[in-house]
Structure 1
Amino acid sequence: MVSYIIFLDIDGVLNTRNHLKRQKIKSGKVTNKDWDPTACKYISMLCEHYNARIVITSTWRHEYTVKQLEEFFESNNISPNFVKDVTSSYAPQPDEKNYCRGHEVKYWLQNNSSKKASYVIIDDEATFLETQQEHLVKVDKNKGFSTKEAVTKASNILEKKHH
Structure 2
Amino acid sequence: DMTHADIVIESSWKYLGLEAMQDMWKDRQLPGKVIGITPSAISDNILLSTDLDVLDSSMLHCKGAEIASWLHENNMQEVPYVIIDDEYVILESQLPHFILTNPYDGLIEELAMRAIGILNRQ
Q: Please state which band the TM-score falls in when normalised by the shorter chain.
A: 0.7 to 0.9
1:67 matches 2:19: yes
Instruction: Show the counterpart of 2:30.
Output: 78
Q: Deviations over 1:83-122 (max 9, x none)?
A: 0000001205544323311111111111103454110001
| Unaligned 5+ runs, structure 1 | 1-47
Ranges of 4+ aligned residues in structure 1 off by more than 2 Å: 92-99, 113-116
1:148 matches 2:99: no
Q: 1:102 to 1:151 in 2, by over 3 A?
A: same
Higher RCO (CA < 8 A, seq sep 6+): 1
Q: CA shift at 1:76, angstroms?
A: 0.9
| Unaligned 5+ runs, structure 2 | none
Q: TM-score, normalised by structure 2?
A: 0.81
* Matched positions, count: 111
- What is the SS of the residue equivalent to 2:19? helix
The correspondence for 2:2, drawn from 45, 49, 64, is 49
Structure with higher Rg: it is 1
Instruction: Show the counterpart of 1:134.
Output: 96
